[in-house]
Amino acid sequence: MILNRSAFFLFLTFAFISCSETESKEEPTPIRVDTPVVHIQPTNSFTPVDISPMDMVYFPVDYPVLKMSGKNVPDLVARVIYSRPHREGRKIFGGLLKYGEVWRLGANEATEIEFFKRIMIQGKTVQPGRYVLYCIPSQDKWIVVLNKNVFSWGLSFPQEDDINRFEIPVETLNASTEFFTMFFEPTEKGANLVMTWDEILTRLPLQFQK
């Protein structure tokens, strides 16, 4: 009987929380579920599959696929290679990642950004080449750093190799992204490098001649 009563109150509480959650969302966002988590393969002793899988993104968006179509393909501008940690119910910013501390923008190897032409970021010229990209997140802004110490693991970023630091604002979404995600979105003057995880989204604006 006691068990029954507490179960009843538990359900009431759930119902209450759920109701208030649902009511606060006036415009429901479309449901989008990530593809299943890739589990590591213990049978593979040669090189185990990473828990946080690697991925790459190009600008122009989907450049390799665009190229395959054989149409007028615009010039290649940028490519990011990064790993994609999984939220798994954790609080990410201000939790797993401490504010004010360096974060590799991914997992495992340092995140790599390559520019195939000269670009501008916040009025600073960045020469073509391969760089490491990392950030220092805080509650209201991120400092995104271009560093020249390429081919390194993402736990050490010698400051003498920093090339530029850029401050960008933080946007809070009312929905959460499960896997850390980077992608490019076209803009009038070039493209934004969009970085999003959990409920946080940031944009690093890149300018270049199209």
Query: Which positions lie near another protein, rule CB under 8 A?
Result: 4, 8, 11-12, 14-15, 17-19, 21-22, 25, 28-35, 37-38, 41, 43-47, 49-50, 53-58, 63-65, 67-68, 70, 76, 79, 81, 84, 109-110, 151-153, 155-156, 173-179, 181, 183, 194, 196, 201
CB of 105 to another protein, least distance (A): 15
Nearer to another protein, 124 or 187 (CB): 187
| Encoded amino acid at 130, one letter | R
Nearer to another protein, 123 or 160 (CB): 160
Task: Supply 147's token pair.
Answer: 């560093």
> Which residue's structure tokens are 């979105």?
185
CB of 123 to another protein, least distance (A): 27
For residues 161 and 146, is the Cβ–Cβ distance under 8 A?
no
Nearest of 195, 77, 184 to residue 135 by alpha carbon:
195
Nearer to another protein, 118 or 173 (CB): 173
Q: Report the distance separating Cα 162 and Cα 56, nearest Å.
A: 23
Q: Between vectors from CA 141 to CA 147 and to CA 122, what angle results, nearest 5°?
A: 55
For residues 161 and 141, is the Cβ–Cβ distance under 8 A?
no
CB of 159 to another protein, least distance (A): 14
CB of 177 to another protein, least distance (A): 5
Nearer to another protein, 86 or 165 (CB): 86
CB of 86 to another protein, least distance (A): 8
Whether the link from the prior residue into 53 is cis, omega within 30° of 0, is no
Nearer to another protein, 56 or 125 (CB): 56
CA distances from residue 72 to 31, 58, 93, 116, 118 in whole angstroms, order as listed? 34, 17, 41, 18, 21
Q: Report the distance separating Cα 132 and Cα 114, nearest Å.
A: 9
Q: Report the distance separating Cα 79 and Cα 56, nearest Å.
A: 7
For residues 114 and 79, is the Cβ–Cβ distance under 8 A?
yes
Nearer to another protein, 166 or 183 (CB): 183
CB of 118 to another protein, least distance (A): 18
